[in-house]
């Protein structure tokens, strides 16, 4: 395009009412980027650490039981008893219908669900239970199986998740959990009430 043609294009745009002013470029947002306007404006020194309410002995409804599959960014872990077996952790969240002092529903992250890395590099469906397992998800699995009056190995993953999302009520216990040699407490189901 010649210099004369450029001038004609801009002249034509001006004549048609189009603005030749450049607009400032909008910031480009990356996936997962947090909008800074949504961040807290309370100084860090004034922020209070969240304190998990102790719901020991309380009966609450399960609002939702969610399973989030591992992603490519999640850490790959080698099984302790077989270095050929690799897996990633799935995320499991149980949300209760009770609310804390911040008017948010009480919830807990449950450990123990894993997805095996298969030969083709894909991930298996989440595993919640196996014979001899002793973790938060497998304990909940056994609780559901006992309530249904079946052996844990007779319960399917779909039936397990569907049951927990069916509006049941559970009795909670304040449960001590060790994580990286630090003691934490979680509100975990110990009895299915209805």
Q: What is the pLDDT of residue 86?
A: 95
Q: What is the pLDDT of residue 15?
A: 66
Instruction: Name residue, tokens 């470029």.
Output: 25
The model carries a pTM of 0.74
Residue 96 to residues 33, 38, 63, 135, 144, Cα–Cα distance (Å): 28, 25, 5, 20, 16
CA distance 100 to 152: 33
Q: Which helix (H) or strand (E) holds 21?
A: none
Q: What is the pLDDT of residue 44?
A: 79
| pLDDT-flagged residues of the chain (< 70) | 1-32, 48-50
Q: Which residues pair with 110 in a beta bridge?
A: 92
Number of H helices, E strands in the chain: 3, 8
Eight-class DSSP state of 153? G
Q: Which residues pair with 10 in a beta bridge?
A: none
Tokens standing for residue 141: 């699995």
CA distance 78 to 106: 33
* CB within 8 Å of 150: residues ≥ 6 apart: none
Instruction: Name residue, tokens 């996936």.
Output: 31
Q: What is the pLDDT of residue 70?
A: 94
CA distance 122 to 88: 11
Instruction: Name residue, tokens 């030969």.
Output: 119
Q: What is the pLDDT of residue 7?
A: 60
CA distance 142 to 125: 19
Domain boundaries, the chain: 54-192
| Cα three-residue angle 74-78-83, rounded to 5 degrees | 155
């Amino acid at each position: 395009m010649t210099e004369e043609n450029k001038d004609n294009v801009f002249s034509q745009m001006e004549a048609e009412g189009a603005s030749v002013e450049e607009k400032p470029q909008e910031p480009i947002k990356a996936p997962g980027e947090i909008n800074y306007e949504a961040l807290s404006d309370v100084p860090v020194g004034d922020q209070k650490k969240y304190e998990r309410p102790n719901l020991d002995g309380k009966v609450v409804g399960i609002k939702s039981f969610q399973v989030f599959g591992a992603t490519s960014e999640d850490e790959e872990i080698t099984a302790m008893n077989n270095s050929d077996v690799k897996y990633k952790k799935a995320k499991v969240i149980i949300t209760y219908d009770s609310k804390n002092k911040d008017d948010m529903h009480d919830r807990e992250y449950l450990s123990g669900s894993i997805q095996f890395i298969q030969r083709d590099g894909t991930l298996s469906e989440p595993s919640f239970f196996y014979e001899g397992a002793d973790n938060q998800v497998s304990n909940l699995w056994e609780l559901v199986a006992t309530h249904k009056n079946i052996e844990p190995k007779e319960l399917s993953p779909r039936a397990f998740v569907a049951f927990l999302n069916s509006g049941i009520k559970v009795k909670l216990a304040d449960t001590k959990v060790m994580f990286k040699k630090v003691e934490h407490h979680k509100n975990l189901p110990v009895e299915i009430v209805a």
